Structure 1
Amino acid sequence: MASPTLQRRRLGKALKRARERSDRTQEEAAEKIDAASSKISRIELGQSGLKLVDLNALLDLYSVTGEAALHLRDLARAGRKRGRWSAYRNVIPNWFRDYLDLEEDASEIRWYQPEVVPGILQTEAYIRAVYTTATPRTVDDEIERFVRMRLDRQAVLERADATLHFILSEAALRRTVGNVRLMADQLQHVADVADRVNVELQVLPFDAQTYCPASFGFTILRFENDASTDVVYLEDYTDAVYLDEQQPVRAYNALWNRLSAAALGQVESQDLIRRITSEYGTQL
């Protein structure tokens, strides 16, 4: 079953289509449920839940009836449930919880990472080193919960119905986290994961000359193999942005394609990972 986050996004998109077909504005919809226009915007973006009484009012305004109305009510009920990641709420910021649900539901994930190894490719030792460095005053129990959460996320790698594409900058492979033994083990793990049939991994080397500079990481998530469902996830130190409008999504897909074209092929990427792993090994 899809997560509450994805159900809210589905409901939001369906309500937006219904509003536009009925030639109603967000302001009219907001007036109908006695709310601000920003509330309608958040609902349509899947960022806010919706009471059943308000949903019924909007369905009446948009002239949605019959099976279509029943389907939207089902989505609204599912969107109010708590997701599986609520158990980790004390170590997950609010702005990241929706991403975890989307990651778990995605049929395709494309992840560009310029500085560190992506979370779902990290070994337990790497996770600990990253977390304790970023938050040095955390208590042991919090560290353990964070490590468990990140390891639980890696279940997506086991899904036969999900395809995962990674582009890692060479910097992510060479930036030492912890110590050289930890890094040698981490890069060996990356190489092992890259051998999976549902994983494609490329490395963007330092001497790549032909790509559009991207010093920031981003993730593109697709659902049910439908390009129209693409969501771009952008994260900074204290917040995140979810983009699903056509223009920015198209721009990020184009950027991904340029990065992929400039990166090494999968075989050459594996060779580079092994060379860097050997370099770490000689320092032991």
Structure 2
Amino acid sequence: MASPTIQRRRLGLALKRYREAAGKMQEEAAAVIDSAASKISRIELGQSGIKLTDLALLLDFYSVDSDEAESLKQLARAGRQRGRWSGRGVPDWFRQFLDLEADASEIRWYQHEVIPGIFQTEEYIRAMLLTAQPRVSDEEVEALIAVRLGRQSILGDHTKKINAILSESALRRVVGDESVMRNALLHLADVARIPQVTLQVLPFNARSAGDAWVHFILLSFGENAADVVYLDVYGDADYVDKPEDVRAYARLWDRLQAAATGPVESRNLILKIAQEMEDQS
């Protein structure tokens, strides 16, 4: 069953379509439920739920037929449930991403400074968290480690495609110490063997890889919901879902993928860097 996050996104997209088909502006819809236009925007983006009474008013305002209205009310009820990551010490801004990540049919992940979370070892995660600013407590460290390791269950989902491009700097930047980093790289090389995972490296000498400093995750959901791009912001996150903006990130992904080395060459480079770290230790 799709998460409440996906259900809210599906409802939001449907409400936006019906509003536009009815020729109504967000300000007009907001007046119907006595709210600000920003609330309508959050509902349509799937960032906020909606009361059933308000939903009924909007559906009537948009002249939605009774059968479709009942279907949308079911989506609204599902979207108000607690997500799978509730109560685990996960901040609200990141909890939405975790639901999207778990529900996505395809993930395209570009990372330029650290190894992606779903590929990290426990030692690597712990080293990152212990040097975080501001410093988190020991209890928070253990809880966050459990969440990140729990996310890695998606690697065993054979219906999900996971494509990742890592800058070479993510492989060479030492997290913890050389031993922690070497083990992380060996684990990454093993992950690269998983059939549904395609892992590539953007080497330092890659050309025509403009905008390679932009870290982003592009999530696709098939027919369940529109694609969305997740962007890290310090202590927060940004979710991009305007079709033209998502297409721009998809084009950037294509450029990065073309500039990156192939999966076999990338795995060999990972192992080479791991060996260099062992030789230096």
TM bracket, shorter-chain basis = over 0.9
Separation in 2, partners of 1:22, 1:63: 8
> TM-score normalized by structure 1?
0.96
Q: Which residue of 2 aligns with 1:207?
A: 205
Number of positions where the alignment pairs a residue of Structure 1 with one of Structure 2: 281
Separation in 1, partners of 2:211, 2:32: 46
Separation in 1, partners of 2:170, 2:223: 29
Shift of 1:136: 6.3
Name whichever of 5-14 and 63-72 sits farther off.
63-72
The residue correspondences of 1:119-268 to structure 2 (distance < 5 A) are 119-135=117-133, 137-224=135-222, 229-268=226-265
The residue correspondences of 1:22-37 to structure 2 (distance < 5 A) are 22-37=22-37
Q: Is the 8 A contact 1:106 1:223 kept in 2?
A: yes
Query: Once superposed, which parts of structure 1, at least 4 consecutive aligned residues long, lie more than 6 Å away?
Result: none
Separation in 1, partners of 2:238, 2:135: 27
Q: Which residue of 2 aligns with 1:97?
A: 95
Separation in 2, partners of 1:280, 1:128: 20
One-letter amino acid of the counterpart of residue 76, structure 2: A
Shift of 1:229: 1.6
Change in Cα spacing, 1:276 to 1:248, as seen in structure 2 (3 Å) is same
Name whichever of 259-268 and 274-283 sits farther off.
274-283
Q: Which residue of 1 aligns with 2:40?
A: 40
Residues 56-83 of structure 1 show CA distances to partners (whole Å, capped at 9, x for unaligned) of 0001001112321111001100000001
Q: Indicate whether 1:278 and 2:269 are aligned.
A: no
Shift of 1:135: 4.1
The residue correspondences of 1:39-118 to structure 2 (distance < 5 A) are 39-88=39-88, 90=89, 92-118=90-116
Q: Is the 8 A contact 1:108 1:225 kept in 2?
A: no
Separation in 1, partners of 2:148, 2:191: 16
Instruction: Specify every segment of 5 or more residues in structure 1 that has no aligned partner in the other structure, as ranges.
Output: none
One-letter amino acid of the counterpart of residue 131, structure 1: L
One-letter amino acid of the counterpart of residue 38, structure 1: S
- What is the identity percentage for the equivalent residue pairs of Structure 1 and Structure 2? 57
> TM-score normalized by structure 2?
0.97
Separation in 1, partners of 2:234, 2:261: 29
Shift of 1:225: 6.4
Separation in 2, partners of 1:77, 1:163: 30
